[in-house]
Amino acid sequence: MKLKKQVTVCGAAIFCVAVFSLYLMLDRVQHDPTRHQSGGNFPRSQISVLQNRIEQLEQLLEENHEIISHIKDSVLELTAHAEGQPALPQHPLNGSWVLPPENRPSFLSVSPQDCQFALGGKGQSPDLQMLAVYSLLPFDNQDGGVWKQGFDITYEPNEWDTEPLQVFVVPHSHNDPGWIKTFDKYYYDQTQHILNSMVLKMQEDPRRRFIWSEISFFSKWWDNISAQKRAAVRRLVGNGQLEMVTGGWVMADEANSHYFAMIDQLIEGHQWLEKNIGVTPRSGWAVDPFGYSSTMPYLLKRSNLTAMLIQRVHYAIKKHFAATQNLEFMWRQTWDPDTSTDILCHMMPFYSYDVPHTCGPDPKICCQFDFKRLPGGRINCPWKVPPRAITDANVAERAQLLLDQYRKKSKLYRSKVLLVPLGDDFRYDKPQEWDAQFLNYQRIFDFLNSRPDLHVQAQFGTLSDYFDALYKKVGIVPGMRPPGFPVLTGDFFSYADREDHYWTGYFTSRPFYKSLDRVLEAHLRGAEILYSLALAHSRRAGADGRYPLSDYALLTNARRNLGLFQHHDAIAGTAKEAVAVDYGVRLLQSLTNLKRVIINAAHYLVLGDKDTYRHDPAAPFLGMDETRSSQDSLPERTVVKLGTSPRFLVVFNPLEQERLSVVPVLVDSPHVRVLSEEGQPLPSQLSAVWNSATDAVPNVYQVSVLARLPALGLRVLQLHKALDGHATPRSSTRLYLHGRDVPVHKPEALPLHVFPAAADDFCLENQHLQACFLGHTGLLQSLRPAGEEQAHRVSSEFLVYGTRTSKDKSGAYLFLPDGEAKPYAPKDPPVVRVMEGPLYSEVASYYQHVQTVVRLYNVPGVEGLSLDVSCLVDIRDHINKELALRFSTDIESDDTFFTDLNGFQIQPRRYQRKLPLQANFYPMPAMAYIQDMQSRLTLLTAQALGVSSLLSGQLEVILDRRLMQDDNRGLGQGLKDNKRTCNRFRLLLERRSTANKVQDERPISFPSLLSHITSVHQNAEALVMPVALEKPALPALRSFVPLATTLPCDFHILNLRTLQAEDDSLPSAEAALILHRKGFDCSLEAKNLGFNCTTSQGKLALGGLFQGLELGSLQPTSLTLMYPLGTASNSTNIHLDPMEIATFRIRLG
């Protein structure tokens, strides 16, 4: 009866809405002056007016058609189920599980304007598009003479007669925060001496200049120096002698780093500089990352930097850009319709950033002007001609020789201003070196500047001195495009420094730490947001005196450790083994601290009566979800012990969207029920926990609960020991031993069927998807989305790459395979375990070096629309092998595939047959996909790994690499410290409804909304924290729902970061709210998504967003909060264009 009533009410409501809408539309047509036809002064008959209105009504109805169909679907869903908790699963007679459909309406309402963005079409095309440049170049590596990878440079002596050459020599010292030595050891052995000498030596002559970039080192030094020395540093910065370039915590790797961490380390550095020295960086300096992402110029531009410099670019591209005078360009984002993302970029032309490769094309001559290499020192010139100290007797000849190099180098650029870096790794660590370089160069400059006939003015300069002079010379404001300079879009992967030595191995090297990096990042984001909310709520309640403000120091420490790990030898996996351990210890320490911060915030926020809050560090209110026994071990999940009293769980959802998730909990008894905080039973499933293929863990069970989790919120659940009648539905398992004689330890209380032979081929399915597997391998064979007749071939296999037998071999940086991959051939056939249950089913295949689990969630919404794939890899007994996972499909992708850059944007790639196999690998921090006119297959990843598509329809990812030798890039070690590593993926097959060839040819692509949301689901898992106390002593707990409204689903809250107070270990009352509006492709069908999703054309009302909190102030700022943008207005409504990231300084309370 109740159901009928509901349907009637809903039907009536919809009828009213429809009638009212028609009325409004007619009204709008009548009153909208823009809709009147021009020239409407002459009288018309009533009929034509009416006809006109009907046409316009039809148009409006067309626009609203989608929304109405969503309402219809919702009504159908409402009629099918009464409102309430997610329905419990039923078990029909045929043995497969059915989960009743969701009883809440779900809809996808994307405004048509929001679909226009991905179609693009606006804006002029760039002069240089990197995909096109790759297609154009022969990559023939011809010998260029003294400039081996270039060409002979000539000039006319009178070229500078009318406009003299202006030379800026920029002294620098490249300090790696960990590589051959640990961060601390480098600091104590070298960096502190470099900075101490800098203060001393720069004060000796006001003409001296120096640049510094790594704030991680600089801040450590700052903490250890006197007030007097600090004042001297501020003076040197103030008078332009010392420049802070980029100003990030580190010089970040640009291949494997995720954009959250890239921004976070930039904010950490910039905030430190602003607070301690009062300076804002103007120019970017990245001489050592191994290839460059177009995400970095975007972040620098949005931080208000006006220019940047890069160095490690493929030698063939450098040569081509040098020959066409395109080494300086405006770097623009592919999606930018105008010039708002343009930043001036200077590319260094030669092999390295050391002195022999920076003064000009001939390293034999340039090396003679590296005065650290004067005879008698520890290093010399490999070209066998040593430097000579500059004297009155030789200055004319030496200066002429150097000027010849300067002039040749300047011929590669468009302007008469020349940049000459002067430095190398950990240079200037002794006063003698400062004297040798600065005194000898000053003598040369004095000579050159005293000879008007040479038409040159040479001096020491900072990076910004150079860019300022360049802008002045061409007569424009810094940041604008110099006349004639080209516009470039695209990126600079993959990098080769010589021959076929492609730096594509480091996209995968040390995957264990690449994975730990992302776990820490997700925890940092979650902890920042929850801490900021708990602090705001406790301040509002006047309870901040009892809240542990000391947690702020833990947040700062975690920001800095995550920032340190973004360094280009850290996350890259290219440091010494002992250094990797040091990073690992830091990451684990921060991970544990962040769990503590989350627990303290969650404790405060779920208390029904906040007055009962007491912070007791010795006895935390909540337990951790999992623990790691050491920095290189996989996590062990906490087992909740069930007793007579109920146990409570607090589940944290770090996403800004509500999610319906399967939440796993380990318990010590199979007799368990899960209830909501109100005491309603929740859908759940009981499964065994396995130590190995055939060994079930005794007395431990996994109960998986289907729970709706509030956006950024906390949900309280109860676990009860169940009486037999109320037990949780159990999964059943089939174990196929494939003829192997292995002992089987069965789980208690759960059905297990053991088969001595291999399985026949079999399938698993849910309401969205059928996945079929090969019985004898347990590996995926095909996918068939619901409603399609034909299955798509999506078969997976493991492969092994070897390395070359002679000369150069693969190492931490380089991938130098011995040809195509060979099939992985383990000793024994796999044991395959198939588990089926109401909420999810999975296939586990156990091979010698890899265990793979493919899981299909049988739930509505995001989790049920893709396959969950995980690979537990252990190749510690391999020698010079790399393990790959390849998917082969019937998608006709030809030579095109797509990879992401930093989880921020997608870059189309083309398999280049003219290049060796290793050149066709690219970084994949978040996703890669292939597509044809009908389908798109996306591989989403929870950790950065190397990826390629070597044949049409293929997608392959390198899982781990074990290499026994150094690859001659300075590390001096192979990669032999492999760990047991878990790589996690999602596989998403989507139908393309409106693809067209022209669109697909464009050098730009976007994921679908579903793909974006699947990616954030995968990267921000729900955290399950058991309440330590048992029921009788427990205060009342209430779920915490922080958001008053639903965020548009193309908005992502990147961070809500509490800013530091004057005392940097304490929080201020302000926070940085960082929002990202994602660009997405609407051409991928999104029927029956099972989750709510609307977009708003980039509009968002922040005023009423946070429930129970007021937005005290809202100031838009540059990305890293250095500059206010516009005035702080009273309006709290904001607008973001697609792809934009925006920072707001806010006050919540």
- Catalytic residue positions, numbered: 288
Strand 108-109 to strand 1093-1094: parallel, antiparallel, or no bridges (unpaired)?
parallel
Q: How many residues does the chain have?
A: 1149
**Residue 701, φ and ψ in degrees, nearest 5:** -135, 150
Strand 867-873 to strand 850-857: parallel, antiparallel, or no bridges (unpaired)?
antiparallel
Distance CA 1046, CA 195 (A): 50
Q: Is 338 helix (H, G, I), strand (E, B) or coil?
A: coil
Q: Is 820 helix (H, G, I), strand (E, B) or coil?
A: coil
Burial of 830-860, coded b for 16+ CB within 10 Å and e otherwise, reads bbbbbbbbbbbbbbbbbbebbbbbbbbbbbb
Distance CA 872, CA 851 (A): 5
Q: Is 512 helix (H, G, I), strand (E, B) or coil?
A: helix
Distance CA 970, CA 977 (A): 18
For the chain, counts of helices (H) and of strands (E)? 20, 49
Q: What is the DSSP track for 375-441?
A: TTSS---TTS-------TTTHHHHHHHHHHHHHHHHTTSSSSEEEEEEEEET---SHHHHHHHHHHH
Q: What is the DSSP track for 559-601?
A: HHHHHHHTBTTTTTT-S-HHHHHHHHHHHHHHHHHHHHHHHHH
295, 284 in Cβ contact below 8 A?
no
Distance CA 243, CA 421 (A): 14
Token readout for 599 is 């627990």
Q: For residue 617, how many other CB atoms are within 10 A of its CB?
A: 9
Whole-number Cα distances in Å, 701 to 397, 667, 690, 731: 82, 5, 9, 11
**How many CA atoms are closer than 13 Å to the CA of 342, on its beta-carbon side?**
19
Distance CA 678, CA 707 (A): 13
Token readout for 898 is 């797509």
Distance CA 916, CA 897 (A): 17
Whole-number Cα distances in Å, 73 to 70, 83, 686: 5, 15, 33
Token readout for 450 is 């005293």
Question: Which residues, in sequence order, are CB contacts of 731 under 8 Å at separation 6+?
Answer: 685, 686, 687, 688, 750, 835, 836, 837, 838, 841
Distance CA 1102, CA 1113 (A): 11
Whole-number Cα distances in Å, 598 to 555, 602, 650: 10, 6, 11
Distance CA 652, CA 1022 (A): 5
Distance CA 290, CA 284 (A): 16
Strand 714-721 to strand 762-765: parallel, antiparallel, or no bridges (unpaired)?
unpaired
Distance CA 662, CA 766 (A): 14
761, 834 in Cβ contact below 8 A?
no
Could you list the beta-strand ranges (E) of 287-372.
307-310, 328-331, 343-347
Peptide bond into 494 cis (omega under 30): yes
